Structure 1
Amino acid sequence: MFLAMNRFKIARGHEETFVEHWRRRESYLGEVPGFVRFHLLKGPQTEAYTLFASHTEWESEQAFADWTQSEAFMKAHANAGKAPREIYLGPPELELFESIL
């Protein structure tokens, strides 16, 4: 199993805008071989931001790599920049994990 997470620092007061953007977004993940599941996670808050993470689970690292080169990936990210920029406190931080146990 392979996990990919993007962590987003969302300015306080803009959480619902961020979540609604993800609700309306078509991911096309169901079309991709090796995709297992997706979660959008809400994490801790500071005075400045709320942490969110998009979490995808894959059968293998190769399945994830193939997704990033696919037409489905391009379609899924075509509208990624449509959310207002001011809600983000910096770019997303990608973290990749290989399951070992």
Structure 2
Amino acid sequence: MITVANRMYVSPEYREQFEQRFRQRAGLVDGMPGFLANHVLRPTKEGEPYVVLTFWDSREAFEAWTSSDAFRQGHARSGALPKEAFNGPGGLEVHEVLEFGAG
């Protein structure tokens, strides 16, 4: 299993719009093979990024999503936020999930 964390620095005046876009997201990723979950993490301190965190069965499943028509459709939706909504460089991180037994 992997996680993909997309760190996004959102200008304070666009935070509500940013969150609303995820509340009303197209949901095209939900039916993709290997997709497990999507979480949006809101920063607790000013100046920190949002983290859009997705869980996948494998890196191959994630890469299949990013090259799919559904990905292009989901990211080309009307109502995208303007460039000024983002006030810092983002970053994409991919991690393998290590699972350890409970004790």
Question: Which category describes the TM-score, using the shorter chain as reference length?
Answer: 0.7 to 0.9
Runs of 4+ in 1 over 3 A off after TM superposition: none
Radius of gyration: which is bigger? 2
Deviations 1:65-93 (A, max 9, x none): 11111111111111277113222013431
Instruction: Tell me the secondary structure at the aligned position of residue 39 of structure 2.
Output: strand
Residue 59 of structure 2: aligned partner: 61
Could you tell me which runs of 5 or more consecutive residues in structure 2 were left unpaired when the two chains were aligned: none
TM-score where L is the length of structure 1: 0.84
The one-letter code matched in structure 1 to 2:84 is E
Aligned-pair identity in percent equals 32
Counterpart-to-counterpart distance in 2, 1:80 and 1:64: 24
Cα RMSD between the aligned structures?
1.9
> Aligned partners of 1:80, 1:18: CA distance in 2, in Å?
13
* Larger relative strand fraction: 1
